[in-house]
Structure 1
Amino acid sequence: MSSRVTLGFLLGFIGVVIFGATVPATRLALNGLDPFFITFGRAALAGLMAGALLLVRRRVPWLGRKGAFRDLLLVVASLMFGFPLLMAFGMQTVPASHAGVVLGLLPIATTFGAMVFSGERPSPLFLAFSLLGAGLVVVFAARNGGMDRFGAGDLLLLGSVVACGIGYPVSARLARFMQGWEVIAWALVIALPITLPAALLFLPREFAAVPTPAWLGFLYVAAMSQFIGFFFWNAGLAMGGVARVAQVQLLQTFVTIALAWPINGEPLDLETVMFAVAVVAVVVLGRKAKVGGAPAPAE
């Protein structure tokens, strides 16, 4: 495997660690903040940071590239609105660790999204490893009561998985001729005419009434989950391939559960660790399976 693909895996893993804290941080933010404010506020704050960075770096939009603006709108719809809104409402009815299990289906959704939106053609062996990893996550959910408690919150979380299955491969498609951080930056700036007024509309009336942990959770999902995490994630997808690097997301469930312990007070057990080790093994084996068809990213 080339050093470029290996670096893509490393960058993807850093992104997964950052994203893995999103669910626990959102859970914290919900203890005092409205889901609509969390959704629009995180995107608005990240959009202001993105706009400042674009100005400092003197970057110009790539809208002359055919399909670029359309793809950016897809990223806005799926990752600025679809994922955070569905996740915030879903998180109102399920524990952070349970949500992490449902979001463990992200890799297989992203793999199929890569086939549709990025032109990648995973080999049957690769798809087998992807399904095996997803199967381990489903078994883990079943053994931890994830199936008998399936309800409206899980449906919302599944919708957020679909949103990412669209947004991630489209972001990677843009990252073939733009830098990874520019993709999310321009998407956030394009969304500002909607996110900023909406954030102000749902702004808490009494700031002092909102607990400090809720604000800290909000700041994390705005700065890290909505913005900085994509620096690593988009670059990793573009360098290593969407379907291949997406398998690192299988670890996100266990990152989320591990972080839910100190952040949300939800205990970690030996079974979770054992399943995490098994998933790591699947990811390592899946790295050697063939994935073809995607054009090489631009330098």
Structure 2
Amino acid sequence: MSKKYVAGLLLCLIAALSWGGTYPVMAAALKTIDPFYLTLVRYVIVAVIFALLLLLVEGPTAFKAEGQTVRLWVFGAAGFLGFNFLVFPGQQLAGASGSIIASVMMAVQPLLAVLVTWIYRGTKPTIVSLLSMLVAALGVFMVVTKGHISVLFSSRNTLLAMGLLLLGELSWVVYTVGGTDFPKWSILRYTAHTSIRGVILIAVTVAVATGAGWLKIPSAGQIIDVRWPLLYLISFAGVVGIFAWNMGNRIVTPLNGILFMNLVPITSFVITIIGGYTVSWFELAGCAITIAALVGNNLYGRYAAKKMEQVSQLGSSSDFGV
């Protein structure tokens, strides 16, 4: 195993651990400030950092959209506006277990990617992938209900929270898949362009909502109170996490890197338990089932790809009379 490959694995590990801490940290911050203004403050700073890095590394010409303006706005909206304005309000609605539910939903992203690539690329999923989705859905259901189905119907907030979380994770998948439309662009360039556009849309949305009276501008004291969670969300979960994940997957390939998504709910579980939350065995079992579904689908994908490669090699050999 080369040093470069090991470095790629470490980068994926850093990203997964950073994102695993996002939801517990966010849960603490959401007690003080609403998710919309928190997202605005966070991504204004993140977008500025990415823009400065792009300027320093690739120069002013890298800010040209090169005919991709519409796509960049769409993917920026999905990755930054859609994900954050759906997932974190959903986490807040879910209550005390919101961080755990949100992190488990994040582990389902690779399976959601199967649906997105089917619709967007026309790549039909295998039966194994579809079965994995159903098993993963069962795991999420167990985490949400904790063994009591009545929880789903005891409050409208529960179902609404699940809907928001699912749509939010789907938005991030769309953003991730969209990055493959820019093979000639660096990771930094794609991230900078989409984050800039995403934060503009976030600012406009927050301004309209505030003008309509749906949101209130947070006080300086509120922002100061969440300075440490905000610092984490900007640095580790924002700049470091995104960069480490994209660079790591470029080295080890998404087929291998995607397995690190399993660490997101595990990390969230550990941090949440340390924070005083009592996790039931039913929740742990649900998390384990969801992870098993993801691993199983990944291993089958590896097996199928290897078989196709062997068939292709045999075909090539027969063509030459070997």
In the superposition, the TM-score normalised over structure 1's length comes to 0.76
Aligned to 2:80, what secondary structure does the other structure show? helix
* 1:267 corresponds to 2:281: no
In structure 1, the partner of 2:172 is 164
* Superposed displacement of residue 250, structure 1: 4.0
- CA 1:129–1:159 in 2, change beyond 3 Å: closer, same or farther? closer
Aligned to 2:92, what secondary structure does the other structure show? coil
Gaps (5+ residues) in structure 2? Answer: 153-157, 309-322
Q: State the AA in 2 paired with 1:152.
A: L
In structure 2, the partner of 1:215 is 227
1:215-234 counterparts in 2 under 5 A?
Answer: 215-234=227-246
* Superposed displacement of residue 243, structure 1: 6.5
How many residue pairs end up in the alignment? Answer: 289
- CA 1:171–1:4 in 2, change beyond 3 Å: closer, same or farther? farther
* Superposed displacement of residue 32, structure 1: 1.5
Q: Which has the larger radius of gyration?
A: 2
* Superposed displacement of residue 266, structure 1: 1.8
**Cα displacement string for residues 46-89 of structure 1 (whole angstroms, at most 9, x for unaligned residues):** 011111211221344275656x4333222211111001011222
In the superposition, the TM-score normalised over structure 2's length comes to 0.71
- Distance, in Å, in 2 between the alignment partners of 1:267 and 1:241 is 37
Aligned match for 1:113, one of 108, 113, 116? 116
**Cα displacement string for residues 243-287 of structure 1 (whole angstroms, at most 9, x for unaligned residues):** 76445434422322222223x432346665566566655555523
Q: State the AA in 2 paired with 1:206.
A: S
- Distance, in Å, in 2 between the alignment partners of 1:283 and 1:105 is 7
Gaps (5+ residues) in structure 1? Answer: 294-299
- CA 1:144–1:185 in 2, change beyond 3 Å: closer, same or farther? farther
Aligned to 1:290, what secondary structure does the other structure show? helix
Q: CA RMSD in A?
A: 3.8
Contact (CA 8 Å) 1:87, 1:156: kept in 2 or not? Answer: yes
- Distance, in Å, in 2 between the alignment partners of 1:117 and 1:245 is 22
- Distance, in Å, in 1 between the alignment partners of 2:289 and 2:2 is 25
In structure 2, the partner of 1:289 is 303
Q: State the AA in 2 paired with 1:182.
A: R
Aligned match for 1:180, one of 187, 195, 220? 187
1:1-299 counterparts in 2 under 5 A?
Answer: 11-59=11-59, 60-61=61-62, 63=64, 68-94=68-94, 95-117=98-120, 123-125=126-128, 128-129=131-132, 131-143=134-146, 145=148, 148-149=151-152, 150-174=158-182, 176-195=183-202, 206-210=219-223, 212=225, 214-239=226-251, 242=254, 245-262=257-274, 264-268=275-279, 283-285=294-296, 286-287=298-299, 288-290=302-304
Contact (CA 8 Å) 1:184, 1:227: kept in 2 or not? Answer: no
